[in-house]
Amino acid sequence: MFHDVLLPAPRKRLGRLLASGAAIASLAVGLGAGGLTVSQSAQADDYPDHAIEFIVPWSPGGGSDALMRIISNAAPEFVGQPMPVINMPGVSGTIGLKELAQKDPDGYTVGQIHEGLMAANATGLTTLNWDDFQPVASLASSPQYLVVNADSDWKTFDEFAKYAKAHPGEIRIGATLGGIPHVHAAMIEDAIGAQFRYVGFEGTGARIRSLVGGHIDASIGDISSSLEFVKNGDLRFLAVGSKARLEQTPDVPTFRELGYDNLDMSINRGIVAPKGIDPARVETLAKDFEAMSEDPAFVDRVNKAGAEVEFMGPQAYADYLADVDGTIKRLSGKLAR
């Protein structure tokens, strides 16, 4: 004999099921009073009712792509619908964002940004900036490392710094030109009084692969893009831009402990929507992402990818982006050459 098996619903859908009784009751009251409209809560519960496209403006294999796929994989459970990743790399991450800005603000297309957008704007690579979009939430913060090829003579950051100062313009460092990795490399350059030779790449994955191949001498990287290469003996971490040493790399010193207090280097990756989206839909998504950020399994996956979960809602994220924008504009002169 066969029996029907009742499978657990995703959390978002389960919430809708629990809310349906209240919605029906509200509808009944409205009809009893002669009204023919469904309650606002019932309307809000309808969103989203199909997949939400998730534009990631970077190549597959980099830090942004890896972390956004963790969010995408968790979306059916917490958002209630799939959020398939669509990679649209190009021009320091601005091609995909240009596409996002032109989308209908109906809540069914969102995109990923980080501090690199403000850097690209400050250096004239794009006219787009963070406030051309509606901030929804920031979920992941990734400390950045200075990475070199394991065959290089630099075993420590001090050795790297001394060589760079003695050989201006010789060290080839990979960066997304006009992007936040360029900003971070310029911060190191300024802190040690050196001058690098910049080589441009679209996305972290491409420049890390070039570093492994010996085509450049150093790069800015992160756990998700670089750790396996370090474990395999292809690359070496010299220092990390976090406030304290990270669990995944306990032997890698922070720039702070090496005496460079101003070298705080992290990338905060967040989600934005086209300008003009219904504020109620922004709030719905923000609450879903907040619930996602509190899930132990999600936190564990993000940590294993080399990032920390740091949730910011719409207003807090907007305030953060405005502050970073001001800081990058003050540093933009170092990125012009």
**CATH number for the domain including 194?**
3.40.190.10
Residue 209 domain flag: yes
Residue 149 domain flag: yes
64 and 85 housed in the same domain:
yes
Mean pLDDT over 31-47 rounds to: 48
Reading the block at residue 67, the tokens are 């972390």
CB-based contacts of 270: which residues, under 8 Å, 6+ apart? 112, 113, 114, 135, 136, 137, 138, 139, 312, 317, 321
131 and 155 housed in the same domain:
no
* Domain of residue 118, CATH code: 3.40.190.150
In the DSSP assignment, the letter for residue 254 is B
298 and 320 housed in the same domain:
yes
* Residues 214-264 pLDDT 10s: 999 999 998 888 999 999 999 999 999 988 898 889 999 999 999 999 888
**Rounded Cα distance, 318 and 323, in Å:** 9
In the DSSP assignment, the letter for residue 272 is E
β-sheet with 145-149: strand ranges across? 197-200, 172-175, 218-221, 145-149, 235-240
Q: Please tell me the predicted confidence (pLDDT) of residue 5.
A: 38
Residue 26 domain flag: no
* Residues 186-196 pLDDT 10s: 889 989 999 99
pTM value is 0.71
Residue 325 domain flag: yes
When mean pLDDT is compared across 8-22, 116-130, 158-172, the lowest value belongs to 8-22
Return the residue matching tokens 């109906």.
106
Domain that holds residue 288: 53-142+266-335
283 and 231 housed in the same domain:
no
Indicate the number of domains in the chain. 2
Q: Please tell me the predicted confidence (pLDDT) of residue 222.
A: 87
219 and 283 housed in the same domain:
no
Residues 138/292, Cβ–Cβ less than 8 Å: no
Q: What is the DSSP string of 3-65?
A: ----PPPPHHHHHHHHHHHHHHHHHHHHHHTT--PPPHHHHHHT---S--EEEE-S-TTSHHH
Residue 93 domain flag: yes
153 and 234 housed in the same domain:
yes
- Over 50: is that where the pLDDT of 26 sits? no
Residue 258 domain flag: no
164 and 231 housed in the same domain:
yes
**Rounded Cα distance, 222 and 66, in Å:** 11
